[in-house]
Amino acid sequence: MVTLEFNSTTGHINSTAPVHNSAHCSGRIRPIASLQPPTHYHPIIAAVPVSMPSDSTPSDTSNERSTPCNSSVTDFHPLHAKERYFELAGEMTGQFLGPMPVQDFLDEFLPKPSTPCPTNLEPFDFEAVKGFETEFAEAAMDANVCPNFEFHDITNTKDKTFPDALKPDISIIPKRSDASGPPDTNWTNIELFIERKPHLSDPFRDPAPEVDRKKHQFVKYTNAATENRGRMISYAGAQLTTQFRQFCFSISVIEGDEARLMRWDRGGAIVSERSNFVNNPAPLLEFFWRFNHLSLEERGWDTSVSQPTTEEVAMAIEAKIFAEGDQVHKLHIKDDADGVDRYYLVSRPAKYGPGVCGRATRGYIAMDLQKKDRVWLKDSWRIDVEEMPKEFKIYQKLQKNKVSNILECRCGGDIGQQKTRTNEYQGKTWRCGKHRIMPHHHYRLALELIVGRPLKKYSSTKELCVVILDALTGMLIVIFVRAHEFLFIICPSAVGEAYSRADILHRDVSGGNVLITEKGRGVLIDWDLSKDVAAVNTTQRYWRTGTWRYMSIAILRKRPMKTVHEHSDDLESIFWLLVYHVLRYQPSIAKEVNHLEDKLQAIFDSSFKAKDGQVCGGEGKETFLGMFKITSEELKSALHSQLAGLLLDLVHAFYVVYLPPCVITIISEERWKEAHVSLSDMNAIRDIFRRRLAEGVWPENDGAIDPWSTDLKRNDRKRPRAAIEEDSEDTADSDRSTSKHRKKKAVFMRPPFM
């Protein structure tokens, strides 16, 4: 097992990561330096290049579903491949646009080269039989339609950089100067991937000419189609995770004679119409020819990443920021404050968000080349709308209003014009259905470092409560970097002070954003989804912001729908944060409560798809407040009296708020209004914490333990084509709701970093 370890004596950050020696074409941006994770990881999360974090890294929160682009929240036991694909397909519901005309796709995304595509090529004249992948790859190579690249059938090839990760059918990699050895077809080296499936597994359905596209369901929800869509999502996520990329391309081959072109970015995916490349090979040949002549940036690479000089790497090693043999990259930030270009050296991410859509946050221990010291560098794709300010601006406001314990925020800025483009096409006449896809802009932020621990590593339940109280009222704020002796970043203050002093709502209180300092105090991090109170109160909410598991009931539920995120929602997130970390990491709960995994799934992760397509939830949390899922007697029996009392006091405070009208008339409307007023600021919740913490003697040895820590082995090898479920295309899509499938399939999966 490989980890990032900090030696407090020498100040050196050690790594047991293997050195990546893959041969890449000249001028190619190298893949992200990564660790090789343990083989029990969820492939899409473990699928990391030559230096990603190990399972000791707790700061990856990608398994916690967030919005507006949802990500998986299951976290107790790993899902098998088929279940995982359904999960991934559900996460990208509403993020596919199509069918785009093939010629439009080519003209929009692949500029025509000065040398036209040869017209005498017909490489795809063969039967769609067993061995298609090899024949296709060889035909493309023989036709020299993409001369700077190699096509390889990797159907049965295992990815060395992704333990247990599946591979696509065909990979396209840069042409090697020496092709005598085996090709490097790992995800770190793939430029384009092709996946072939039967007609029934086509994830999409083109409308007939006479059909109203606004009403047509382009995405198919049969089992076979959903599984295949999830499979392709896992591949695109793997490529975007392992490489410094803005976007990537892929091809979906149907049966053996038709194909769809696809472009993936952090906003979603654009899918072309289905075309027959045997009867009419010109469009596919044109795609390959144009792809061959694209620049690095046009192929999706992040060209703000460069290779440092030998002297710069040596300086970082001498400063004990990196070790000998670490693969090092140089990242650029144009500072929003003064427009100055600043450069930072990074190696393996200590925090990262795998998958396709969303912010895709990566965190690095970095070297500031200007000040020659260690910083934390956050690389993400921020939601690019006016009502959501850049994170650097939030830090400036927090500092201006003297929010407690903030160290220097070095710089922050957008990365050139690296923006998602999927959102630009949601109003096109060719697209089917209605979509609301958020625009994203690549963004980096540099902050200072401090030492701390992840919340799930609390040493006692008293420490857990103190830390969460600190996050509520405002102490320190930091970011995780490593295990055992953790490096963090100090950020702005917590929920209470940020709201009272700076009029800022955090809006993403979660298990990954509250951490523990060396002295056992709490900190709150990641303010990229925060917002001014004034802006929140004047802007209608069209999407949810935060992490699903900890969102308030009011934000999650369908009716009555809440359109404004308020301070009370942040306070409720603090409550669910405590509930989850007690129920999840106190073994006595697992012993006392039957079917705990199912109950936690129902409370924190369940959802349903409303008729208007919106994914909603909160019902499980309401049942918890009513003590239906887990009773007060079970809590009192499993927990010591102080902690059980604290939980039940908080349950009562929020329970009254969510009482239905028929019950309010019984308990009196005045009491209901008092409950609402008490949650308008942090005082009532803070007082409950303080009173219970001051009572009695709290145990010192009831720290967090994962009762489901035993790894489950699974066989995720690619299934033979004959095993693919032949769902009827006549099955009504409305009966194949992905959200229903997710709810059924999403047994808790143990997260890779827990």
Q: Which of 416, 445, 474 is the last residue of a domain?
A: 445
Q: Which of 704, 722, 740 is the last residue of a domain?
A: 704
CA distances to 113, 136, 140, 281 from 125, in Å: 26, 9, 11, 9
Lowest mean per-residue pLDDT among 30-39, 223-232, 357-366:
30-39
- Can you give the pLDDT at residue 690? 93
Do both 551 and 699 map to the same domain?
Answer: yes
Do both 427 and 472 map to the same domain?
Answer: no
Asked if residue 731 belongs to a domain, the reply is: no
How big, in percent rounded to 5, are the helix, strand and coil portions of the chain?
30, 20, 50
The CATH number covering residue 480 comes to 1.10.510.10
Answer with the residue of higher pLDDT: 611 or 746.
Answer: 611
Lowest mean per-residue pLDDT among 355-369, 528-542, 608-622:
528-542
- Can you give the pLDDT at residue 233? 95
**In terms of C-beta density within 10 A (0-12 exposed, 13-18 middle, 19 or more buried), how is residue 187 classed?**
buried
- Can you give the pLDDT at residue 662? 59
Asked if residue 724 belongs to a domain, the reply is: no
Which stretches of 514-641 are assigned E, i.e. beta strand?
Answer: 514-517, 522-524, 531-532, 546-547, 608-609, 615-616
CA-wise closest residue to 533 among 491, 567, 562: 567
Say what the alpha-carbon torsion angle 175, 176, 180, 186 is, to the nearest 10 degrees: -80
- pLDDT cut 90: percent of the chain above it: 45
Question: What sign has the CA pseudo-torsion 619, 621, 625, 626?
Answer: positive
- Can you give the pLDDT at residue 525? 64
User: pLDDT category, 546, cuts 50, 70, 90?
Assistant: low
Which stretches of 186-225 are assigned E, i.e. beta strand?
Answer: 192-197
Asked if residue 545 belongs to a domain, the reply is: yes
User: pLDDT category, 158, cuts 50, 70, 90?
Assistant: confident
- Can you give the pLDDT at residue 6? 34
User: Cα separation of 394 and 149, whole Å?
Assistant: 45
- Can you give the pLDDT at residue 276? 94
Written as one string, the DSSP assignment of 329-376 is EEEEEE-TTT--EEEEEE-S-SEE--SSSS---EEEEEEETTTTEEEE
User: pLDDT category, 669, cuts 50, 70, 90?
Assistant: low
Q: Do the Cβ atoms of 297 and 248 come closer than 8 Å?
A: no
Asked if residue 272 belongs to a domain, the reply is: yes
Written as one string, the DSSP assignment of 4-33 is EEE-TTT--EEE-PPPP-----TTPPPPPP
List the structure tokens of 207.
Answer: 């409308």
Q: Which residues contact 287 (CB under 8 A, 6 or more apart)?
A: 106, 110, 251, 261
- Can you give the pLDDT at residue 397? 75
Other Cβ atoms closer than 10 A to 182: 8
User: Cα separation of 176 and 557, whole Å?
Assistant: 54
Phi and psi angles of residue 341, each rounded to the nearest 5 degrees, phi first: -80, 125
User: pLDDT category, 178, cuts 50, 70, 90?
Assistant: confident
pLDDT tens digit sequence for 338-391: 999 999 999 988 877 678 998 898 989 999 999 999 998 999 999 998 878 888
Asked if residue 669 belongs to a domain, the reply is: yes
pLDDT value at 288 more than 80: yes
User: Cα separation of 187 and 52, whole Å?
Assistant: 13
Which stretches of 47-197 are assigned E, i.e. beta strand?
Answer: 66-67, 96-100, 149-153, 170-174, 192-197
Cα angle: 70, vertex 191, 432; to 5 degrees: 45
Q: Which residues contact 725 (CB under 8 A, 6 or more apart)?
A: 223, 224, 227
Other Cβ atoms closer than 10 A to 16: 13
**Mean pLDDT rounded to a whole number for the chain:** 76
For the chain, how many structural domains are there in total?
2
- Can you give the pLDDT at residue 126? 62
Beta strand 192-197 pairing with 247-254: parallel
**Which amino acid is located at 495 in the chain?**
V
pLDDT tens digit sequence for 36-51: 322 222 222 222 233 4
Do both 314 and 340 map to the same domain?
Answer: yes
User: pLDDT category, 631, cuts 50, 70, 90?
Assistant: very high
Beta strand 486-489 pairing with 409-419: unpaired
Do both 180 and 309 map to the same domain?
Answer: yes
Task: Assess whether the previous peptide bond of 560 is cis (omega < 30° from 0).
Answer: yes
Q: Which residues contact 235 (CB under 8 A, 6 or more apart)?
A: 166, 168, 193, 195, 250
CA distances to 41, 127, 169, 225, 716 from 153, in Å: 25, 16, 6, 23, 19
CA-wise closest residue to 261 among 140, 486, 97, 382: 97
pLDDT value at 61 more than 50: no
Do both 478 and 423 map to the same domain?
Answer: no
- In DSSP terms, which residues pair with 96 in a beta bridge? 269
User: pLDDT category, 29, cuts 50, 70, 90?
Assistant: low
pLDDT value at 52 more than 60: no
User: Which of helix, strand or coil describes residue 52?
Assistant: coil
Q: How many residues are there in the chain?
A: 754
Q: Which of 666, 681, 704 is the last residue of a domain?
A: 704
Cα angle: 256, vertex 257, 260; to 5 degrees: 95
Do both 365 and 468 map to the same domain?
Answer: no
- Can you give the pLDDT at residue 557? 85
Range of the domain at 195: 1-55+96-221+240-383+408-445
Asked if residue 684 belongs to a domain, the reply is: yes
Do both 595 and 646 map to the same domain?
Answer: yes
Do both 419 and 456 map to the same domain?
Answer: no
Average pLDDT (173-180) is 88
Answer with the residue of higher pLDDT: 469 or 527.
Answer: 469
Do both 441 and 452 map to the same domain?
Answer: no
Do both 574 and 631 map to the same domain?
Answer: yes
Do both 630 and 492 map to the same domain?
Answer: yes
pLDDT tens digit sequence for 180-190: 788 888 888 99
Asked if residue 262 belongs to a domain, the reply is: yes
User: Which of helix, strand or coil describes residue 426?
Assistant: coil
- Can you give the pLDDT at residue 11? 40
Q: How far apart are the first and last CA of the chain?
A: 14
Phi and psi angles of residue 260, each rounded to the nearest 5 degrees, phi first: -120, 140
User: pLDDT category, 565, cuts 50, 70, 90?
Assistant: low
Say what the alpha-carbon torsion angle 8, 10, 15, 20 is, to the nearest 10 degrees: 150
Answer with the residue of higher pLDDT: 697 or 166.
Answer: 697
DSSP state of 656: H
CA distances to 135, 177, 280, 574 from 124, in Å: 9, 26, 10, 58
Do both 267 and 337 map to the same domain?
Answer: yes
- Can you give the pLDDT at residue 694? 94
Average pLDDT (320-326) is 92
pLDDT tens digit sequence for 673-720: 666 566 666 788 889 999 999 988 999 999 999 888 644 333 333 333
Q: Do the Cβ atoms of 259 and 275 come closer than 8 Å?
A: yes
pLDDT tens digit sequence for 567-601: 678 788 889 999 999 999 999 999 999 999 999 99
User: Cα separation of 729 and 202, whole Å?
Assistant: 10
Asked if residue 663 belongs to a domain, the reply is: yes
